[in-house]
Amino acid sequence: MSTISVSTGFDKETATVSRIYDYLILVLAGFLYIGSYHLHFMLTVGDWDFWLDWKDRQYWPLVTPVLMIAWPAAVQSVLWTHFRLPMGATLSVVGLMLGMWITRVTAYQIWTNYPLNFVLPATMIPSALVLDAILMLSPSFLVTAIAGGASFALLFYPTNWPIFAMFHVPIEWQGGLQTIADQFGFEYLRAGMPEYLRIIERGTLRTYGQMAAPLSAFFAALLCILVYAAGWYIGKAFATVRYLKRV
């Protein structure tokens, strides 16, 4: 019997039932997070994560963490406030990654014949681990929002660069310059995805020349702080037992 069960005064049978309940909730929550977070991710980040030739240095490191942090923040709010479990962010992101890998392999590779390298997802597990660790060690919503939210965004680009840098090697094609990622977009047919639809390298951030990625990352860090706070309070608002007479 664990120290937690001893502390709550559970007898052996109650502790066993409680443990079974844990696993039931975990399985259900796992599917819930995989499904709902994945849906949220596909509808918001969408093409930036689906395709190699969308992962630019300006919008990709800005859009992805900002749109992804709300969900981990909400789950952290529930699990930390009511259970002192500092795994909300990691649970969400690991669930998301499982969902994404299932989709990329089945829907993109097996079903529609895209090679896996063209649809490799980005990972945010390091950002999530750091977010959980900061929440546990602080343990403060405000510190987590500022330090954790900023780290969540700042770690995104360097985390994924080892996966995607090799696709930025230049090639010459029909007398023009392309990255390997651009070449994927050119060769592997996507009827609804013309080149002009990609939202890459647009806007005045280009004024800073080669510094677009770090600037985007710092801007994302600022936004992540705010979005984290919003996500936390959304989680708090939904984590209610007001409809349950007894627990």
Partner 1 sequence: MKLLKLFVFSSICLSGLFLSTSTAWAHGERSLEPFVRMRTVQWYDVNWSASTVAVNDELTITGKVHVAEDWPNSLPKPEAAYLGVIAPGPVFLRKERWINGEAHLNSLPLKVGRDYEFKMKLKARIPGRYHIHPSFNIIDTGNVAGPGQWVEITGNANAFTNNVETVKGEMINLETYGTANGVRWHMLWMILGIAWLVWWVRRPLFIPRYAMVNKGEEDKLVTPKDKNLAKAILVAVPVIVLSGYFVTNSQYPETIPLQASLDLIPPLPEQADLVNAKIKRATYNIPQRSMMMMVEIKNDSQKTLQIGEFTTGSVRFINSNMKIDASHTPPEYLATNGMQIEPNDLIHPGEAKVVKIMASDAVWEIEHLSSVIGDADSRFGGLLFLFDDQGNRYLSSISASLIPEYK
Range 185-204, binding partner 1 (CB under 8 A): 186-192, 194-198, 200-202
Beta bridge partners of 178: 171
* Residues in 20-59 at the binding interface with partner 1, rule: CB under 8 A: 21-22, 25-26, 53, 55-57
Instruction: Please state the closest distance from residue 122 (CB atom) to partner 1, in A.
Output: 9
Q: Which is nearer to partner 1, 43 or 191 (CB)?
A: 191
* Residues in 217-246 at the binding interface with partner 1, rule: CB under 8 A: none
Instruction: Please state the closest distance from residue 135 (CB atom) to partner 1, in A.
Output: 9
Environment class of 103 (CB within 10 Å of its CB; exposed 0-12, middle 13-18, buried 19+)? middle
* Residues in 63-82 at the binding interface with partner 1, rule: CB under 8 A: 81-82
14, containing H or E segment? helix 12-44
- Please state the φ and ψ torsions of residue 176, each to the nearest 5 degrees: -115, 165
Per CB under 8 A, the list member of 77, 90, 144, 216 interacting with partner 1 is 90
Report helix angle 70-83 to 88-103, nearest 10.
140
Q: Which is nearer to partner 1, 196 or 243 (CB)?
A: 196
CA distance 136 to 23: 23
Q: Is 140 in the site for partner 1 (CB under 8 A)?
A: no
Per CB under 8 A, the list member of 97, 146, 220, 221 interacting with partner 1 is 97
Per CB under 8 A, the list member of 163, 215, 230, 239 interacting with partner 1 is 163
Quick one: tokens of 166?
């090799």
DSSP structural state of residue 173:
E
Q: Is 130 in the site for partner 1 (CB under 8 A)?
A: yes
- Please state the φ and ψ torsions of residue 139, each to the nearest 5 degrees: -85, 95
Per CB under 8 A, the list member of 61, 72, 86, 235 interacting with partner 1 is 86
Beta bridge partners of 177: 172
